[in-house]
Amino acid sequence: MSEDLNKNSWKNLKFRSSVVNKINIEVANFRWKNENPGQKIEMDVFEKAKNKAQYLGYIAKIILDIRNMVCIQDDWLQNHVDEILSKPPPRVRKVLSTDALAKHNIDMMKLRDKITKLERAGGKFNKSQ
């Protein structure tokens, strides 16, 4: 019985609300407007996903793509979510340890900041810099 509860835990409102909050936090880092699109994104994913693995796979893909953006435009975000949901669900795999993932995320944020500074200065990004 506890296995059934765990299998369907992704469907309860408390879990889904935490997902909405995570999406909104990620989007808030890169958007100019104060809108919180997490509710719509999560609802679209919830309607598309057939199980917890699909749900988490779509959510992870969307959050990772948001983190890799320098600036998010309104139309890009919804179009990107629609594009992700039109494809088969990504497989969720645990590849990196928590420490390795944290280091990777820090490296990616430094790279994103470097690209942003170069773009603001009118320069072009060169991989060798």
In tens digits, what is the pLDDT along the chain, a chain of 129 residues?
455 556 788 888 899 999 898 888 887 776 656 567 888 889 999 999 998 888 988 888 888 888 777 666 667 777 888 888 888 877 766 666 777 778 888 888 888 888 888 888 876 555 554
3-state secondary structure of 124: coil
HSE-CB for 49 with a 13 A CA cutoff: 22
Backbone angles phi, psi at 10, to 5 degrees: -70, -15
pLDDT of residue 116: 83
pLDDT of residue 46: 93
pLDDT of residue 95: 65
> Which residue's entry shows tokens 């928590």?
98
Rounded Cα gap, residues 107 and 30, in angstroms:
18
How many Å separate Cα 1 from the centre of its chain?
32
